[in-house]
Amino acid sequence: MNSWLRLSAVKLHSRSYSLLPQGAQAYIGGKWTSSQSGKSFDVLNPYNNEVVDRVTNCNVKDAEKAVQSAVEGFEQWAYSYTAKQRGAILHKWFEILLQRETELATLLTKEQGKPLGEARGEIQYSAAYFDWYAGEARRVYGQVVPSAVHNRLHLHTREPIGVVALISPWNFPTAMIARKAAAALSVGCSAVVKPAEDTPLSALALAQTAEEAGIPAGVFNVITADRANTAEISKFLCESTDVSAISFTGSTPVGKLLLAQSASTVKRVCLELGGNAPLIVFDDANLDIAVAGTMATKFRCSGQTCVSANRIFVHEKIHDQYVSKLAAAMKEKLVLGDGMDPKTTQGPLVNQKAVDKCELLLSDALGKGAELICGGKHGEHGSSYEPTLITNVQSNTNIANTEIFGPIAPIQKFREDDEVLQAANNCRVGLAGYVFGKDTARLHKFSRRLEVGMVGVNEGLISCAEAAFGGVKESGIGREGGAQGVDEFTNWKYICTQY
């Protein structure tokens, strides 16, 4: 078995750290390979800034090689394997992820920083997509269309789109690849994966498990690169005529850039971009449920999720009670520290830039009248930042109009339903939203009228393999997960037969 998932202690630059393979390589055409440039870059643990591994730094030449391998792999995967056979391999991949959960989660925590318990949950969540699409592979149905004339047969079939480029983020380095790749491979596509430069190791470990599951050479390729090379590689993937679709999860500005770069080849683009989720607590809400939901959506991954509650609107009648309960829950349950420590429930932010952003947003809010209830300080280690609660947040503050991507819970009061609905929708992004209350008519109204792609009603954790994930406005194009997830990777074909 490849040494990828074996942990060993080595020294580099007089610094001791855990390493998986020595000299981590890209995975192209079923082989582990170094970049043609001969260069590499360091992957750091955000909690202590120690080097986790050194990874090969791919360039456009390597990307071209990966795309060519995917072109060759596609022909075999799409047309020599039946849907049932593809599904069986995906199901084996699912089983391997569960079997190797501890190893994969440990790696994920070391490079991303999230608590080991959350990392385990991510591996389970990732595996669920391979399980789901193992079954969906055999349910990609076409249509028989009645003809208006005699002696003709009209068929609609769904064909795999071809080679797809999957560009993934650092906050869920295994799950975001799994969600895309499982759907794409289930219908016969091949993939070139470009993981975030902060967290490439989880993607490479996923490639190793793909090989163990029996994914043929060329069907799943991973190219790693630092920030500078990533821009050139992404541009190449968008403009390549051999790449039929781009699937990207990340920031809205980068998504817009990729969309523009893909215009020259008129390729399919699936974007899961930023969110600025509203969370509304009505005066009839069960406050224990509302606080539990807020904790789940706000502080998971230290607030670094695209569906994290960023704008928390609380009815004035129950505002003080809610804030008191939320502050108590934060004090009791949120423990900032090293993700490998079993007591830790809040890991570090991804880098110092993320900490700086939180500090600027908090300073602006406090300067405009917000009240600090708890937190608000840089942690003792690396890019750690204390879970923070502020109230009396004004609508003209930066934090009320910016995706925070950090562990700050900003509370705004409201009085009228129409007032809070307008405030919640006064945003150019619309990924997720949350409502807490008991009045079913009101909950139904807000579920329908919130301008978002997903709504949690009395629930803070909404994502699962069986449901469609995606947003509206500038939060993206297309859906991932559920039966809808294969839509991004298939084309409808009309066949007219005279007989």
Tokens 């202690």 belong to residue: 9
The two three-digit tokens of residue 284, written as one number: 């009839």
Closest CA to 97 of 124, 115, 119: 124
List pLDDT tens digits, range 216-235: 999 999 999 999 999 999 99
pTM: 0.94
Which run of H or of E encompasses 98?
helix 83-99
What DSSP character marks residue 189?
-
| The CATH fold of domain 277-464 | Aldehyde Dehydrogenase; Chain A, domain 2 (3.40.309)
Q: Who contacts 228 (Cβ-Cβ below 8 Å, separation ≥6)?
A: none
Domain boundaries, the chain: 26-273+477-495, 277-464
Residues with catalytic roles: 272
Return the pLDDT at 23. Answer: 58
Give exposure, 223-243, as e/b (b: 16+ Cβ within 10 Å). bbbbeebbeebbbbbbebebb
Residue 93 confidence class, pLDDT cut points 50, 70, 90: very high
Inter-residue contact 174 to 188 (CB < 8 Å)? no
Phi (first) and psi of residue 474, to 5 degrees: -90, 20
Does residue 460 sit in helix, strand or coil? coil
Question: Is 450's pLDDT higher than 60?
Answer: yes
Q: How far apart are CA 156 and CA 160, in angstroms?
A: 13
Return the pLDDT at 24. Answer: 83
List pLDDT tens digits, range 461-483: 999 999 999 999 999 999 999 99
List pLDDT tens digits, range 234-279: 999 999 999 999 999 999 999 999 999 999 999 999 999 999 999 9
CA terminus-to-terminus distance, the chain:
54
* CATH architecture of the domain formed by 26-273+477-495: 3-Layer(aba) Sandwich (3.40)
Question: Is 6's pLDDT higher than 80?
Answer: no
